[in-house]
Amino acid sequence: MKGVMIQGTASDVGKSLIVTALCRLFANDGVKVVPFKSQNMSNNSYVTKDGKEIGRAQGIQAEAAKIEATVWMNPILLKPRSNQDSEVVYLGKSLKTLSGRGYRDTFYEKGLEVIQKSLNQLSSEYELVVIEGAGSPVEINLKDRELVNMKVAELADVPVILVADIDRGGVFASIVGTLELLEPEERQRVAGIIINKFRGDISLFEDGIQWLEKKTGIPVLGVLPYVEKHMIDGEDSLSLSNQFSNRKKGNLDIAVIHLPFVSNYSDLEPFLYEEDVSIRWVKHPSDFGNPDAVIIPGTKSTIHDLNTLRDRQLDNLIQNHIEHGGYVVGICGGYQILGEEIIDEMGSDTGIPNKSVAGLGWIPGRTIFYDEKETVRAAGVYHENTGLITNGKLEGYEIHLGKTQLHQPGCSFLALENGKEEGYYGKNGQIIGTYLHHLFHNDEWRNHWLNMIRKSKGLHSKETIYISEYKDKRYDEIAGKMRAHLNFEQLNDIIHKWCSK
């Protein structure tokens, strides 16, 4: 197989962004390239064209590679449902929920089989596979049954490029320590090093490059700059939090409730393109402040997170916010939380059949959880009862076990292409609930909603920002920045030589 694997000395060193940039670099050079990650652990997911669920990062990397995402790019997705258990999504479909121990003990051989099958499928369709690892390849307590790093490099038989984050400090120790903890045959597979997130004058690091190459015998292929506001969807809420905190304060203040098992937080990223919008996470009452709007995002564990929200007394703050004319949007699990009642009929949310809890009571409806998960791309227009004028259709995707039934007629938000009514639209848009993930990626809708808030504050309306065009340009800009700071010719040489061995 012709390919390369990007591994890191730790989590959040920039592996996903580097793979994304490499996919666009190779695609721009006319190479039929494909991303791959054997196993993802994230509640931030992506729905493929055929209604399958994969990790969000691989969906974005497929966009950068200018191809359609498929389940072969991420055959195993683990979605945490508690501190102990995760839902196992296998080839795009929910398989079962397992504890960490249960997964390690019972899934390893099945995992190896589907990883090899996926690699074979991709290598038959594409010229080059760019593989992303996870965390660190030297987690000693997990190495014997790992499915994400050196075992995958061995199955694919590709060279490994080790990435380290200089911004967090300790870059020399993290690189040398990682290499020292690898088995000899694993270390021989590491063919290059990339230093990521460098700030300042690169000439001041030249001695460091020379020391590393002499100490390890491995070439440093590049020192990549810290990319501010890269606008590429993050794989975890930490990366999104960093982008939130790096923004200047705007006239509109949007508070996002940080649920313990928050999912699909890529729903929020379009607000990063709006210069007058400040967006921030709220975990505790002291964080709440006096926002103009509140968003309750999706969650992998609705009842658990609703109880946590109540325990932290955020429910009272949300109630006060709405009573004083503030806007609120609930997406997926957030929609369910805003309703009157949640019934876990099959135990698919809590593991306790027929468990029920009262919701926040702002949407006249109840949610019932079933066994079968719905994963589908969806599109529609504003429901006629909203009084809104549709300019084109709204598009997104749905991923949910619960189904919400409204008690009050004439209050749906959307009329979908499949003939169904979807969501809730109340108080002239002050309260909205929907299962449509990526609602705010619809540029004209996002602009309309923000203009409603601007108007309520006595501010001028703004023109629509079309982020889809901007985002594709960012793929090219980031790829260009990588080419300028990476010895791309040497990387290509490593790949070709390894493949011809």
Sign of the torsion angle spanned by Cα atoms 271, 77, 49, 337:
negative
Q: Count other Cβ atoms within 10 Å, centred on residue 322.
A: 18
Candidates 258, 304, 400, 437; catalytic one: 437
Whether 496 sits among the annotated catalytic residues: the reply is no
Name the helix (H) or strand (E) containing 164: strand 160-165
Candidates 23, 258, 321, 332; catalytic one: 332
Amino acid (1-letter code) at residue 89: V
Whether 437 sits among the annotated catalytic residues: the reply is yes
How is residue 383 written in tokens? 């429901």
Residue 283, helix vs strand vs coil: coil
Q: 240 CB contacts (<8 Å, ≥6 apart)?
A: 234, 265, 266, 268, 269
How is residue 215 written in tokens? 């100490």
Distance CA 236, CA 146 (A): 20
Distance CA 196, CA 13 (A): 7
Distance CA 400, CA 490 (A): 45
How is residue 100 written in tokens? 């960490």
Strands 53-55, 45-47: parallel, antiparallel or unpaired by DSSP?
antiparallel
Q: What is the DSSP string of 359-372?
A: --SSSSEEEEEEEE
How is residue 420 written in tokens? 């169904």
Residue 256 phi, psi dihedral angles, 5° rounding: -110, 120
Amino acid (1-letter code) at residue 175: I
How is residue 7 written in tokens? 């591994």
Q: 63 CB contacts (<8 Å, ≥6 apart)?
A: 69, 472, 475
How is residue 205 written in tokens? 């690091």
Distance CA 128, CA 492 (A): 11
Distance CA 471, CA 451 (A): 22
Q: What is the DSSP string of 18-65?
A: HHHHHHHHHHHTT--EEEE-SEEE-S-EEE-TTS-EEEHHHHHHHHHT
Amino acid (1-letter code) at residue 330: G
Distance CA 485, CA 303 (A): 47
Catalogue the active-site residues: 332, 437
